[in-house]
Structure 1
Amino acid sequence: MPRLSRRVLLAGGAGAALLPGAAASAGVQAADLTSLRGQSWRSLQRYFSLERGLVYLNNGTLGPCPRPVTEVVHQAWRVLEQNPAEQGYGPLLEQAEAVRAEAARFLGCGVDEVAITRSTTEGMSAIAQGLHLRPGDRVLTTDQEHPGGRVCWDYLARHGGISIDAVRLPKSPADPATITACFEAALTPQTRVISVSHVSYCTGLRLPIPALAALAEAHGALLEVDGAQAPGVLAV
């Protein structure tokens, strides 16, 4: 089992590429969202291109971007098309590195611990494929995982011979220790990975990630966290 610098890996999303404050280059300016601060929810509606009257709640899967962000995306695409090789391997690549640094500050980790992916699912799958799990190894997860965070383990179970154990999370846990105890009871000597969501996409239950990280470390396992629902809402 390879050892990584952190026991907890947050599988990041492509949205980090548009964090305000990222260094501008190649004529592409970072999205300025400062004008949105302090405004009412109703006044903020005009910054989005959603259908009129639509109440959109699926922000953790495919969330809408405010127009200042989409404008930056379009601007970057136009700059890239002016000279794809020159821009893609030069100024725009440098800007991606600036974005990584901004994302690291936002998440409270080192720059070398951040990888920009196109989705959380891609990030989760990349980690799962890179762990080199063997037949008989076990992954401990829950019964409330988003399919995008579960499919990587289902693939390895089908094609790599690993086994998956799922903790049945309590509907109304008395406290975080109750949740941690469920995981501790489900661990086996063959458990190599604990894979959980920081916040459940179906119930909103917040898992005690620090306690689960300590449990995984004590067991010699890796904790992989599907963090799609948390950054920007909770301190991670």
Structure 2
Amino acid sequence: MSTLSKRQFLKSVVGATSLATVNGPNLTELLASVAHVPATTLAQQEEFWGQIRTAFPVTTEFIQLENGYYSLAAKPVLDKYLQHIQQVNAVSSYYMRTRQFDDKRVAKTQLANLLGCSADELIITRNTTESLDTVIAGIDWKAGDEAVMAEQDYGAMLDMFRLQSRRHGTVNRVVSLPNHPQSDAELVSLYEKAITPKTRLLMVCHMVNITGQIMPIRQIVEMAHKHNVEVMVDGAHAFGQLNFALPDLGGCDYYASSLHKWLGAPLGAGILYVRKDKIAGLWPLFADSSVADDDIRKLNHTGTHPVATDLAIQDAIQFHEGIGIERKEARLRYLQRYWTDRVRHRPNIVLNTPEVPARSCAIANVGIAQKKPAELAKLLFDNYKIFTVAINSPAVRGVRVTPHLYTTTTELDTFVQALTKLAG
């Protein structure tokens, strides 16, 4: 081991990811061949996306339409991830003591470049829940302080706000989002009416996880800041799916996402962005006396954890950038519109996702009159081998449908036929 330099070891552990697959086309050549094709045109070319599908280990046991929880890592990424596990394991504590933090900074610098922020404003976490909980629990709440959120927000986040209410005596003001808003102004006004002089934090989804609705984040942030209210954005489904950068969002104070959803990293990776001037005001969940109060690393004292996941983030980014975010967003929106446009106005079928194309991307939610969401999800799987997830809340009753780049229109044809038959 003494003959192995740190530079050599780094090269062996985080070598470049090839976009060529073992049993598929050379994706580098494939992507070069369509470099001149506009993203919206390419989105409809099934032959091209059929070749992209070969880069993913897609199951043949059922039609996977619940990719929003955790999507497949591409074969090149998965192969590198397994190599990282083996190579780190081979030298164990040597890697942990000499390389892990340097390598993690490389990954978070690449992520910061994608997000459009400084690496000193971002940490790598395990998921969106951990990231947002770090903020919610880190604020120095006082009795009577208020937070604004929506009932359509992710349940774990609502639970965390309830916990602060129990512990500190805070007040949670909950709005309900319309599934089919008439304008951005309607949504902004809804949040603004919930703000009072006691409001300290507003949480909003970049993309609502149960319906796929894309929220007007910039307008909401600018409105909230006029009232001196901080804004925390749940970007669990936006990062890696939508073409944006943080400056586009109007200067939000906090942003979080999961990397094992639309970026395609292995399970168990997320990010948290904290605007530089907000770092010092957050209390860390786990103490680390070696880090200054205004250093974001104080929020990232995770102890020993699976570092192979951190290493594979770089591989996932390379694959993601190889395809290109414009192509990804265009294809994902096309797939959603492909099936929703065919069922939206059919009898007994209820779409809980906005009809305006710009208000959604891959995710949509559909229900059938007189059928409970759990019943619909079970019928789809038992009778048609289509996997979705049931959503049953006061404002949204249906199944969430999340195709991915490896989803085919033929699979969506099967889904449409199943919905039509089940709807009578």
Show structure 1 runs of 4+ deviating over 6 A.
none
The CA distance in 1 between the partners of 2:162 and 2:66, in whole Å, is 24
1:212 Cα deviation from its structure 2 partner = 1.3
The CA distance in 2 between the partners of 1:197 and 1:148, in whole Å, is 13
The CA distance in 2 between the partners of 1:30 and 1:99, in whole Å, is 13
1:30 Cα deviation from its structure 2 partner = 4.3
Q: Contact 1:145/1:196 (CA < 8 Å) preserved in 2?
A: yes
1:112 Cα deviation from its structure 2 partner = 0.9
Q: Residue 64 of structure 2 aligns to a residue in which SS?
A: coil
| Residues 1:163 and 2:171 aligned together | yes
Q: Contact 1:198/1:226 (CA < 8 Å) preserved in 2?
A: yes
1:163 Cα deviation from its structure 2 partner = 1.6
Aligned to 2:79: 71
Moved more, 195-204 or 88-97: 88-97
Q: Residue 149 of structure 2 aligns to a residue in which SS?
A: strand
Q: 1:108 aligns with which of 106, 116, 122?
A: 116
Q: Which has the larger radius of gyration?
A: 2
Q: Residue 59 of structure 1 aligns to a residue in which SS?
A: coil
| Residues 1:127 and 2:124 aligned together | no
Q: Contact 1:139/1:191 (CA < 8 Å) preserved in 2?
A: yes
1:118 Cα deviation from its structure 2 partner = 0.6
After superposition, the Cα gap between the structure-2 partners of 1:222 and 1:173, relative to the gap in structure 1 and judged at 3 Å, is same
- The one-character-per-residue Cα deviations of 1:84-138 (angstroms, maximum 9, x if unpaired) are 2221232232121111111111011111111101101110111111112122111
Aligned to 2:185: 177
Count residues in correspondence.
213
Q: 2:208 aligns with which of 175, 200, 207?
A: 200
Q: Which stretches in structure 1 are left out of the alignment for 5+ residues?
A: 1-23
Q: CA RMSD in A?
A: 2.0
Q: Residue 148 of structure 1 aligns to a residue in which SS?
A: helix
The CA distance in 2 between the partners of 1:166 and 1:117, in whole Å, is 27
| Residues 1:27 and 2:13 aligned together | yes
1:53 Cα deviation from its structure 2 partner = 4.8
Q: Residue 224 of structure 1 aligns to a residue in which SS?
A: strand
Aligned to 2:348: none
- The one-character-per-residue Cα deviations of 1:54-109 (angstroms, maximum 9, x if unpaired) are 33233332222111112222222222212222212322321211111111110111
The CA distance in 2 between the partners of 1:73 and 1:149, in whole Å, is 30
Q: Which stretches in structure 2 are left out of the alignment for 5+ residues?
A: 1-9, 21-26, 35-46, 246-424
After superposition, the Cα gap between the structure-2 partners of 1:162 and 1:25, relative to the gap in structure 1 and judged at 3 Å, is farther
Q: Could you tell me which amino acid in structure 2 is paired with residue 77 of structure 1?
A: I
After superposition, the Cα gap between the structure-2 partners of 1:108 and 1:209, relative to the gap in structure 1 and judged at 3 Å, is same
TM-score (norm 1): 0.82
The CA distance in 2 between the partners of 1:171 and 1:43, in whole Å, is 35
Q: Contact 2:141/2:170 (CA < 8 Å) preserved in 1?
A: yes
Q: Contact 1:135/1:162 (CA < 8 Å) preserved in 2?
A: yes
Q: Residue 202 of structure 2 aligns to a residue in which SS?
A: strand
Q: 1:233 aligns with which of 223, 236, 241?
A: 241
TM-score (norm 2): 0.47
